[in-house]
Structure 1
């Protein structure tokens, strides 16, 4: 196994030989759960998270959609304030005001549903008032296996028209419907980025001739930018921007710092917040803070020369599911620029205070209050929306409550 991984990794400095000697590339016993089967007993995070009781959180949950969403995955706002919500079985819903329209948007492509697969992210074009374009990521099934696609289409009333597949991952993979990534984002450079998971095939993350375990970068028409880090190399795919990822489930380029950020799920422990750079190798599975689900060792190393360390990590895993940067005037001023992370296993909203690229504080809210939080979004007017996970999922909005502020008897720090 080690020699095969080394031959495909693109690492030529001899580092991989030493790293791979400690690897045990065993698959989890519960590959489809997107939860931790067990958790380490201790945490290696320097500053432990602070759990904020609901009684001290001066905001209330307003339920916008009550249990009517089927396996929702992502939210996005249109310029007129309407919200789009994807459902993995293939639904694209519209929330208008505080009401979900009864009809789904038509013209959504046929998706391959199973495990974590299906219709995934939705991204609104930056020039939507003129283009009416949306971008969708989804799992596509074909005779040779399944791939992750990006579809570009125009929204015309309640229908998608002028549809064009602008990206398809390679190679097609059979019988691997979990740990697929799928988040879309525009970067600070205006390029379109997509996360792709390793689909529980660890060695793919270090193989530069494989899109698995990568973040890819394209133009919004699907063409490859000339300044992508591996353009012109015969041993690498030109769309790859960064590699060595396990399952990136959050991606943002609008934090206001001119940088690209991602959160990804580790195995049993080792979820990560990463600052994404061109050509960067983020180490999976050569280094990790996690173990296999049966407690066997993946790697004895958590850091190594030539590999990019995470900015922040979680042990035990919280199963990071989304990432957003807060802007607006609804929350206190000290929330501005903070990162908000939805979690599945953690079943809470994580708030990270980030200063000069360093996480200085972690707070957790709504712990075990609404269940698994699949996605977090911030509206143009600064309200935070939370999308739960499951076959009968709900949508919530956080709203300030003066009574709770008085009850807390202190400002939110």
Structure 2
């Protein structure tokens, strides 16, 4: 082939590739472009464990094409942990030491809201998540999780109360549920809350971290290491998978979890998804089905913090669910949400997760219950992201962990 023919061939090939990489409007097709991207994780894993299926970890990287506008709209929050929206578009944020604050989209921060039960704020404990009653406009009820001192230990509790008309306190606060047994540990409380479509609550718990309490994640007579399903009064939801099982706690929805700090409802399927901390490696994203066992501590893709293997070093076992996705090294996944807005269309139905040790916001593109792409947002900010929420304006809002916590807005330029 002469030089002229070669150049012609290259030109034709380039035209064909360009045609395949553009949509009917002539703009680049992001999904095709993204298939050429490398995984966002570049560090070596802690173990030599192999994934159970292709795409279970280190999926190809993707990149948001929409120009983003990132702003810090509030700072000075003390150890914020949970964030949710009020019907008027303002944000209700918990502070781990035992108060809540209301923050406007413009960044105005209220005085601390008081009247909550005493929390045990040692270690990973304190005032944790918050959920606004679906009928808030009528009853002004707020639900929250916190670590409660119940000798001989502490536990994850669910409380509720009425936000006063002047928004300065929670009136008539009461505890509606306690995740028993109490255990003398200050770690792994779980504590995330989310509403189901019937107006009942999903609640997550941890297995309290200690090797003594860890096996209780597998025990149906314990509320540790579980996803629970309760009513507004703290009772088991009718139809729960173990409601007629002898010696099982009827509030249990799923089990075999380590420390669940993210709960989100998939808008495509209506199913519950969660994310949980692994030990040294093995952070997970799971699709939660009623009655299923998610394996901890029998199976895991992580190691003990010492570097030793967990148990019999199994990653798979019949009857135990595989994570949809896992990370090694860890990102420490916390609060999560599926994006349903129209402000940034390419994010539609993607899962966003605040990463603590990862110091970024995870974006996972999901198709047919499988992760098909991963992005790390705001990694340049070098902050521990604790929770994320979608605002009424369609932007993503995120809080950062720490004594001087921030509220970020991530929108469209």
TM-score (norm 1): 0.83
- Residue 297 of structure 1 and its aligned partner are, at CA, apart by 0.6
- CA change 1:187–1:102 in 2 (3 A) is closer
1:4-15 matched pairs, under 5 angstroms: none
Instruction: Tell me the secondary structure at the aligned position of residue 193 of structure 2.
Output: strand
**Which of the residues 7, 23, 40 maps onto 2:46?**
40
Q: Does 1:246 align with 2:258?
A: yes
* Higher mean displacement: 140-149 or 385-394: 140-149
**Which of the residues 257, 260, 276 maps onto 2:272?**
260
Q: Does 1:87 align with 2:87?
A: no
1:300-379 matched pairs, under 5 angstroms: 300-331=313-344, 333-379=345-391
In the alignment, which residue of structure 1 is the partner of 2:186?
177
Q: Does 1:134 align with 2:142?
A: yes
Instruction: Name the CA distance, whole Å, in 2 between partners of 1:225 and 1:355.
Output: 30
- Residue 86 of structure 1 and its aligned partner are, at CA, apart by 0.4
1:57-76 matched pairs, under 5 angstroms: 58-66=67-75, 68-76=76-84
- Residue 233 of structure 1 and its aligned partner are, at CA, apart by 2.6
Contact 2:59 2:372 in 1 (8 A): no
RMSD: 2.0
**Which of the residues 370, 388, 393 maps onto 2:405?**
393
CA offset digits 1:125-160 (Å, max 9, x no partner): 111111211101001113322121111111122221
Instruction: Name the CA distance, whole Å, in 1 between partners of 2:258 and 2:155.
Output: 16
- CA change 1:340–1:97 in 2 (3 A) is closer
Instruction: Name the CA distance, whole Å, in 2 between partners of 1:51 and 1:43.
Output: 21
**Which of the residues 271, 279, 282 maps onto 2:294?**
282
Contact 1:44 1:315 in 2 (8 A): no
- CA change 1:400–1:98 in 2 (3 A) is same
5+ unaligned residues in a row in structure 1: which ranges? 1-37, 402-413
Name the structure, 1 or 2, with higher relative contact order (CA <8 Å, separation 6+): 1
* Higher mean displacement: 391-400 or 86-95: 391-400
Instruction: Tell me the secondary structure at the aligned position of residue 182 of structure 1.
Output: coil
- CA change 1:337–1:53 in 2 (3 A) is closer
- Residue 88 of structure 1 and its aligned partner are, at CA, apart by 0.4
Larger radius of gyration: 2
Instruction: Tell me the secondary structure at the aligned position of residue 155 of structure 2.
Output: strand
In the alignment, which residue of structure 2 is the partner of 1:222?
234
Instruction: Name the CA distance, whole Å, in 2 between partners of 1:357 and 1:51.
Output: 18
Instruction: Name the CA distance, whole Å, in 2 between partners of 1:400 and 1:144.
Output: 50
CA offset digits 1:297-354 (Å, max 9, x no partner): 11422111111111111111111011100011221x2211110011011111111111
Instruction: Tell me the secondary structure at the aligned position of residue 249 of structure 1.
Output: strand
Tell me the matched-pair count. 360
Contact 1:250 1:322 in 2 (8 A): yes
TM-score (norm 2): 0.83
